[in-house]
Structure 1
Amino acid sequence: MTVVALLSVAPVIEDSMAGEVAKAVDALDEFDVSYETNPMGTIIEAESVGELFAAAQAAHEAVDADRVSTFLKVDDKRTRAFEADEKVAAVADELGREPKRER
């Protein structure tokens, strides 16, 4: 896959956002993308920018709120195919360990 993005979709509400965020994540299943959700957003991988944008738009529209805040950061590496895991592995190689700290 060649396009990786960080997507964060959140309703602007005072109560828990989990239910609405779950709707946004669920909307991604309608697209040919892989994704992994973390506490700050969802990493999405797609074959094309168009597919990525379509999935992000569907996630944004799936949230039912008067106001929705969406952040999309795209890494479109055009020189070769890569996967998000490769980026993490490269940092681990430089560190000489997993880039993770347990509390």
Structure 2
Amino acid sequence: MTVIAMLSVAPVVEESMASEVAKAIAALDDFDVAYETNPMGTVVEADDVDTLLDAVAAAHKAVDGDRVSTFLKIDDKRTRTQDASEKVSRVEAELGREARRTR
């Protein structure tokens, strides 16, 4: 996969957003993307930017609310294929150890 993105979709509310965030994550399942959710967002991988953007649009639309905030950062490496785990592995190689995880 060549397009990697960091996605965060959430309604603008004071109470828990978990149920709405879950709807956004579930919407990704309808697309040919891989994803990994973490406490601050979801890393999404796709073969091309069009597939990625279609999946992101569906995730955004899946969240109910008077106001929905979506953050998207795209890394579109066009010279070769690279997945998110490879990017982490390269940093870990430089560290000489596994990167720390949250508790």
TM-score, structure 1 as length reference: 0.97
Kindly indicate whether residue 75 of structure 2 is the aligned counterpart of residue 75 of structure 1: yes
Matched, 1:13 2:13: yes
Structure 2 residue 13 is the aligned partner of structure 1 residue 26: no
Which residue is 2:40 aligned to? 40
Distance 1:84 1:101, change over 3 A: closer
Could you tell me which runs of 5 or more consecutive residues in structure 2 were left unpaired when the two chains were aligned. none
Counterparts in 2 of 1:27 and 1:102: CA distance versus 1, 3 Å = closer
Structure 1 residues not aligned, in runs of 5+? none
**Structure 1 residue identity aligned to 2:7:** L
The two structures, once aligned, show a CA RMSD in angstroms of 0.9
- Secondary structure in structure 2 of the residue aligned to 1:4: strand
Identity rate, percent: 68
Q: How many corresponding residue pairs? A: 103
Instruction: Give the equivalent residue in structure 2 for 1:64.
Output: 64
Letter in 2 for 1:63: V
Are 2:53 and 1:53 aligned? yes
